[in-house]
Structure 1
């Protein structure tokens, strides 16, 4: 019971909407333990008095329960082509451990860790600790990239890096080193690396007050491990994770999440079938190919998850699901990965290959330099490649904040080894959601799943190699094999339509943001948000939102459009089938200085996006693509436009 002040900014419930998912896990709770009293058989939750060493008997219990009850959801994947060469593992039963080459198909564990800077040891402490952990958990072999890939053989490295999906999905489990900042730190509680002590007080009565500790998922979120680009795919691809943090050990598989600081009887907190934890249990953080990205249903479309690391509930236990779930999962993986750090710009797509590999089973879903597109016909015979690529390439923009701003300036650094129209060609956090309630995954999913849409227009896009010798017309693409990345570096828009006006008119619009809340599988409700005024702008009478990846004021944006230094080219226009409203999406590009006056054609570089909102009543008046284009503020440029 609590007395809550009648103050406007304090919830009448006495706590925030997500206090259970965010506030409590951040600090933990205090439990009273009496060593003289046996644990009641119906106890569902209780803190444990942790020792200095990791409790491998508890970890073996989690692994055994998963193996016996979780059916196929957590089993190592056998769906991929086998590793045909250079598959090596560490023999953990040998003393000292040695690296051996084996045929594909043996049972092994994998290690995911941060290499760190300045490490020169062949067998750093983290790897040696992982060898001990693997042996304690009953396995003989461990795969570690540093030792199992010949770092001096570039061809071998390229091959095995391209097979990360297979290697980590086929591992029996993956040991995750989430403590420290490099391979020399070790796994706390395994050999010589100490755990940080669990706060506890012994009372005169003989009882002990112990802390349940910060939720290990929050420890992982705040670790160096979660800032590194290469570790992202390693965690996502594995079906079972054994995570060592500074304080405790955390288990996560596709069907349950537990830690050794909290005792829960696994049988009681699982569904009756035993296949997965009940929906009142908080879920894991290593998301699959399909996930909600923090959104509970199709109708709820946030700009960007306000709490990207907020803990959710329930375990789906399913590897396959709808196109919408896969697209949302892919968009969320791109967002999360793009927020991480890479030591080398050239790894901005290489370190994502494992995530991309999760979607190869859907042969129509293809990533061109990281941009999602659907190969094959959609909407009753239209080119899926042309329409979905045009939508996707004009939907991503840089946004790391979770506010509702509609003019977003987020200066980012270019990665020049990739095209500017690819998110991987920039260093910065990507968003696929735009105000007021747009979700790229919903839009693209609708275009794929609906039989017909009355209005869906896409620019005539051709792709070229750097020498402009091998043009590829997207409208004619029906198989992904025709889209070689090296032959698709330049994006040429034929007969482009250019934004005619650049004068923006400000006005204030009141919004009451409400969000569907509640746990999966339980009654859901709308959580009221504070009513606030937002600074909106109109362009040619339509609501507009703008995203920029370079520093620029609104006044400069308008002036540079007027002088022609930058232009915004229409890439996609159409109706969102599931809600009836329309969008016109543009790429904003700037001139690239040419090295020679004799250059054959002016080149441009993508620096941002523009989105115009076409309300349903207006859109209903336009029966065809041509009618819509006549009403949009665009004009034909008369010269093709090449974006590099």
Structure 2
């Protein structure tokens, strides 16, 4: 078949063939004889200077509309998905697996995984810099239009080389889908080292940074200057006037020997975030701290804060107080130095005496052959081609003859690209027609819907055989039940269809229908690539692994204490083994890449500041909000707390952010169990309101301490919801089972009903996973198995545990007058929080004030459930639906256990009375039509022997159980009591106390 935008002509004119007959394909040699330049015969035949130049010309011509090259996803005849079309340099075959001694082969080996794998072959491609992983690919909206055009009209592009595996089904000019976004950051891109061109200052996208053995503090100062001048309150150290840190101490870096002094917290200072390591505390000044002092001086600062030296480790009260002030300390720092290169003894590479891992580079003699590339418009082959000309011959510009290209792509088609283009045009449901402009302004006005929605409703009414007005009444009720307005219904249904097709919520819904991807005017003169760094030579330099990837793989990123240090810091200078990386709330940059920083900033209103545009690769310190290991894009400035939701007025957004922080924090390690809460206090403080009204945390559990939007008290319902919604990430006991188990150690000093009482990765709302057995069957997806990638991230596990937003939507609904009305019925158990000695106690209901209630983590806190309802039995029966594990009294059931537990053990435990499931919360939230009843699965741990409460039963939370009541039952319930009555529960007859 012929691709859209490809010429139907299979050949080219003799003149065109002559112009573009040049290619780098060489027969592979099994015998390596090195040249005087240290190259094997195959590498010596390459003219990489010309390859870079011609690749650059291809992309520049496409940019002006002289050819129709367009980044798009395709599906091969064997089902492989890939991206077309990149400039093909050469096939490397299997020579990277050979020990040829060739310096170019050895250089290429640094940029691939497992070059010695049997049968694995590679190729080299030249890619346009605007398509690097640093920039999100342009995307289209629901009407097929490109997103807002980037202000790059005056920019000059660059190109880079990447080494790609040769995959069956992918043509020579293609790369596997997501290669640029996943593999290039892991291995780095290859650029030509070039001279700076005077009239291109700040205009070339992108240039490589050639690194020396020492860190470039002049460059760091430039980054800081850009931050201070552009980002304003986004990144300015945060020290509210009413906030202070009593007894604040710092290292005075200007004195010799260094000394720790008490200073006013209003003084400017730098903070250090590092891992101490498995060493005794005898050395007060290990190499990392010494290097951090030097770093501070080089950045022209005087004071440095280091926890080990600035907190008296022998003073328990001081340690406790400072732990509660971590948010103030890290938010108040000018910047934080992060050691992602090791531990306290390792030091900071490139700062003083600790060496850096050298940057990979290779210098070659430039070829004497040169191609005449004038840089003044299209080449001879395209001189007659204007934008839209049907005689497009750009396939030959890809350095693959047209006939060979056609043979390689026979039977290939444009395909679904979740990340760039949305739904394919040939999907079964015509979503493009749903949004086509319609005739019917009277009906649009009558129902207050956009005119483009009328055709969809008319077609739907006809399909169901209903009069239009009658059908619209059902749609109004449907929208009300979902919790949205009628104009929002079509986009909601459209998104639901897309979600079932496997497209993330953040992605657009259509393939492009227009070919107008021209960025600049075709009349704008082209500029050639800058000259090489050394005349007569071509120096290739590697950008190396993206520091974001390095940070996420570092030991620093595995420790619990360092999590909040990274999140709370407003500016971070991260030292990796290879280079230094800057991340603030407005941009993220590193030494091996030079970017035109002012050009890439965009205004943030109404703040009137500037930060990196949303198409820029973002940072890694905002909390692990994302469920995939891939790096993410987007900078959304919010004063004070950036885009992590802590400053949002929407409670749902703040809870979403908080859930993400808990998920990320609990995936890390703590050396001491007693730090479970302390190492999270800095995050907790940012979400706790200074008044009685608003979001707060009780021993790690999010609660609403004021009234909901409907006037009802929020404490009891929100506490019950939050306690019953979290679970530990685990595996099903058997394929298809909805009984999941983890193996998580208990932290006995903390309550079992809170995640702080356990070690192990926590998640939320797993009862409606996107990869549930139901969805797998509907989408014909294979059963997932847990496999971690090379970086230790398990994206299949993330997909399997992808959750709905019930917890988030609950807070959003109950705190918004527009949403609260859609939550018709709520039940939550009555609970009392109290200390084991009975000295402190509070009823978690009504409008109880917690502002002055002393929730001290050093005390042992118990939770007593008053007059509880418990499951009468746990005898499940097979479901009539193949995708369900089983049913309990005709209700779908799912269980998540924090400890190993089989279905037999679970049932026998409930039958014997040693285990029980207590109802904590039941109700509806927007977008979830089913009613969820949430239980805690408990195990008896004995009775209290104190004389004051002799015989009181004690229970430990082991997991949670969810029953789903179907949508049609909602109409049968007149109130919460009727809903509970329909559940298979009984009155337990006495209170339950959870340790």
> How has the CA–CA distance of structure 1 residues 634 and 419 changed in structure 2, closer, same or farther, with 3 Å as cutoff?
same
Per mean C-alpha deviation after superposition, the further-off stretch among 569-578 and 386-395 is 569-578
Residue in structure 1 matched with residue 542 of structure 2 by the alignment: 211
Give the secondary structure class of the aligned counterpart of 2:716: helix
Single out whichever of 387-396 and 1-10 deviates more from structure 2.
Answer: 1-10
Between 1:228-237 and 1:592-601, the stretch displaced more is 592-601
Q: Report the Cα offset of residue 438 of structure 1.
A: 2.7
Partner of 2:207: 46
In structure 1, the residue matched to 2:973 is 622
SS at match of 1:286: coil
Q: CA deviation at 1:443?
A: 2.2
Deviation at residue 382 of structure 1 after TM alignment:
2.3
Matches within 5 A, 1:196-235: 196-205=357-366, 206-235=537-566
Secondary structure at the counterpart of residue 659 of structure 2: helix
1:110-509 equivalent positions in 2, closer than 5 A: 110-119=271-280, 120-180=282-342, 182-205=343-366, 206-271=537-602, 275-287=610-622, 293-294=625-626, 305=627, 307=628, 309-318=629-638, 319=641, 320-321=647-648, 322-361=650-689, 363=691, 364-399=694-729, 406-436=738-768, 437-439=803-805, 440-449=807-816, 450-452=819-821, 453-468=823-838, 470-481=840-851, 483-486=853-856, 489-507=861-879
Partner Cα separation in structure 1 for residue 938 and residue 176 of structure 2? 42
In structure 1, the residue matched to 2:220 is: 59
Query: Residues of 2 paired with 1:12 and 1:58: CA distance?
Result: 35
Cα separation, 1, equivalents of 2:737 and 2:77: 30
1:406, distance to aligned residue in structure 2 (A): 3.5
1:54–1:317 CA distance, 2 compared to 1 (3 A): same
Structure 1 unaligned segments of length 5 or more: list them: 295-304, 511-533
| Deviation, structure 1 residue 535 | 5.4
What 5-or-longer segments of structure 2 have no aligned partner? 1-70, 85-169, 367-536, 642-646, 769-802
Deviations 1:134-181 (A, max 9, x none): 11112111111111111122221111111111111010110101111x
Of 902, 925, 928, the match for 1:576? 925
Q: Report the 3-state secondary structure (helix = DSSP H, G, I; strand = E; otherwise coil) of the residue aligned with 1:427.
A: coil
The equivalent of 2:934 in structure 1 is 585
Q: Alpha carbons of 1:338 and 1:569: their partners in 2 closer, same or farther (altered >3 Å)? A: same
User: Greater shift after overlay, 593-602 or 114-123?
Assistant: 593-602
Residue 23 (structure 1) shift: 2.7
2:888 is the counterpart of 1:539: yes
Corresponding residue of 1:22: 182
Match of 1:606 in 2: 957
Cα pair distance change 1:429/1:17, threshold 3 Å: farther
Q: Indicate the SS of the match to 2:235.
A: coil
Q: Say whether the 8 Å CA contact 2:752–2:956 is kept in structure 1.
A: yes
- SS of 2:348's partner is coil
CA distance in 2, matches of 1:444, 1:382: 13
What is the CA–CA distance in structure 1 between the aligned matches of 2:586 and 2:717, rounded to whole Å? 37
Indicate conservation of the 8 Å contact 1:460/1:493, yes or no: yes
Q: Which residue of 2 aligns with 1:297?
A: none
TM-score by length of 2: 0.58
Q: Aligned equivalents of 2:726 and 2:213: distance in 1? A: 47
Q: Deviations over 1:483-512 (max 9, x none)?
A: 4325781111111111123122345968xx
Tell me the SS of whatever aligns to 1:414: coil
Q: Cα distance, 1:34 vs. partner?
A: 3.3
How many Å apart are 1:405 and its aligned residue? Answer: 7.0
Relative to structure 1, the CA distance from residue 483 to residue 633 in structure 2 (aligned partners, 3 Å threshold; closer, same or farther) is farther
Aligned residues: 605
| CA distance in 2: counterparts of 1:224 and 1:468, whole angstroms | 42
Q: Work out whether 1:107 is the aligned partner of 2:435.
A: no
- Give the equivalent residue in structure 2 for 1:70: 231
SS in 2 for 1:446: helix
| C-alpha distance in structure 1 between counterparts of 2:753 and 2:951, whole Å | 21
The change in CA–CA distance for 1:162 and 1:81 in structure 2 (over 3 A counts) is farther
TM-score by length of 1: 0.89
Give 1:77 shift: 0.6
Structure 1 residues 508, 256: CA separation in 2 closer, same or farther (over 3 Å shift)? farther
The structure richer in helix per residue is: 2
Please identify which structure carries the higher strand content: 1
Contact 1:506 1:538 in 2 (8 A): yes
Q: Measure, in 2, the Cα distance between the counterparts of 1:267 and 1:275.
A: 9
Are the aligned partners of 2:250 and 2:304 in contact in 1 as well (CA < 8 Å)? Answer: yes
- For residue 382 of structure 1, give the secondary structure of its aligned residue in structure 2: coil
Q: Secondary structure at the match of 1:276?
A: strand
CA distance in 1, matches of 2:283, 2:867: 58
CA distance in 1, matches of 2:563, 2:926: 34
Report the equivalent of 2:909.
Answer: 560
Q: Offset of 1:570 from its aligned partner?
A: 0.3
RMSD in angstroms over aligned alpha carbons? 2.5
* Secondary structure at 1:64 match in 2: helix
Matches of 1:609 and 1:243 in 2, distance apart?
40
Cα 1:390/1:214, change in 2 over 3 Å: same
Question: Would the alpha carbon gap of residues 3 and 239 (structure 1) be closer, same or farther in structure 2, given more than 3 Å must change?
Answer: closer
Cα distance change on mapping 1:411 and 1:374 into 2, 3 Å: same
How far off its partner does 1:46 sit?
2.2
Further displaced range: 586-595 or 628-637: 586-595
Alpha carbons of structure 1 residues 482 and 506: separation in structure 2 relative to 1, 3 Å: farther
SS in 2 for 1:275: strand
Shift of 1:479: 1.9
Contact (CA 8 Å) 2:83, 2:176: kept in 1 or not? no
Tell me if structure 2 keeps the 8 A contact 1:324–1:445: yes
- Deviation larger for 74-83 or 591-600: 591-600
Mapped pair 1:634 → 2:985: yes
1:501·1:540 contact (CA, 8 Å) conserved in 2?
no
Q: Report if aligned partners of 1:446, 1:578 keep a CA contact under 8 Å in 2.
A: no
**Which has more radius of gyration?**
2
